[in-house]
A = this chain, B = another copy of it.
């Protein structure tokens, strides 16, 4: 076993506002053979996700900041090429977090061998991965959805949102989605949403009211929030009694350099006896096997389909891909094929 050539993205400075090219560097390096207890992985596809912006900055969020002058992290799927741990054979398809690089040496304990390895590797980063399970946890544990409910989801063409739309339809809900371009709105309808709108086309509150009228409903039972801000305030305006809001992300404020005021109508949460709850997937890993079985079945049945955007250019394309994802050019899960 010898070192192999690899390229990796290192964080050079902490971005302020929008990340700049000078904040990172693509470095040629050598990936050593694995020491005992480790495996070497040839990475096939990596994920780019909004939360990475927070980890590049120095703020303490729910995840530690990326260290400076080291390669960044990203959920990544690859094949084991060398193993120095008996629990993981060469050839296994594994998921790990040491992305932003072509080859990774990973502790066996930090790798998960993937079932359902006949599926497109990107599926393990999307429907079967963090976004898919985030959708499922939100709809089953945080803002439990009942058949007949009216649900609204923002970023409905995104990795989480596109899964929320599909799961919610399967659960018997009426589904309204918002997205950021006409193409995305078409996709959301294709995925089964009963109504969808482009949030650029007018105030969210007006478009949401119109969408409710279009589906013959007067209010929301569940709002699955991926963006915060104007969407959240608009959703609170039209909650039904005992409505539930799952706070999954707030993309509208991730890039804001100053605090953004919150919804001015929280009093309505009292009148409507409504609940709003934030969650992180790491608290719900006990449900993973159950989730994976259901989702794999849905995928094989064709009941749920993978929606992902493959950014080009291999590892060199990962940084532009990250920007593209932040800029909203992706639909579904944003991934970077590395081979």
Q: Which residues of A contact B (CB under 8 A)?
A: 61-62, 228, 232-233, 247-250, 253, 259-280, 283
Contact = CB atoms under 8 A, between A and B. Distances in A.
A228 B273 contact: no
Please report whether the interface of chain A is mostly helix, strand, loop or mixed according to DSSP.
Answer: loop
A275 B277 contact: yes
Contacts of A264: 259-262
Contacts of A266: 228, 232, 247, 250, 262-263
A280 B272 CA distance: 8
Contact of A269 (B263, B271, B278): B278
A253 B264 CA distance: 10
A244 to B, nearest CB: 9
A201 to B, nearest CB: 24
B278 A272 contact: yes
Contact of A270 (B233, B249, B267): B249
Contacts of A259: 264-265
Contacts of A249: 270
Given A261-B261, A262-B261, A253 B276 contact: no
B269 A247 contact: yes
Contacts of A273: 277-280, 283
Contacts of A277: 269, 273-276
A278 B283 contact: no
Contacts of A276: 269, 275-277
A53 to B, nearest CB: 12
27 contacts: A61-B271, A62-B271, A233-B262, A247-B266, A249-B270, A250-B266, A259-B264, A261-B261, A261-B262, A262-B262, A262-B264, A262-B265, A269-B276, A269-B277, A269-B278, A270-B278, A270-B279, A270-B280, A271-B278, A271-B280, A272-B278, A273-B279, A273-B280, A273-B283, A274-B277, A274-B278, A275-B276
Contacts of A278: 268-275
Contacts of A228: 266-267
A250 B232 contact: no
A270 B249 CA distance: 7
A279 B243 CA distance: 11
A278 B266 CA distance: 9
Nearest to A260: B264
Top-10 shortest CB links A-B: A262-B262, A261-B261, A270-B278, A269-B278, A259-B264, A275-B277, A62-B271, A262-B263, A276-B276, A250-B267
A55 to B, nearest CB: 12
A265 B278 CA distance: 12
Contacts of A283: 273
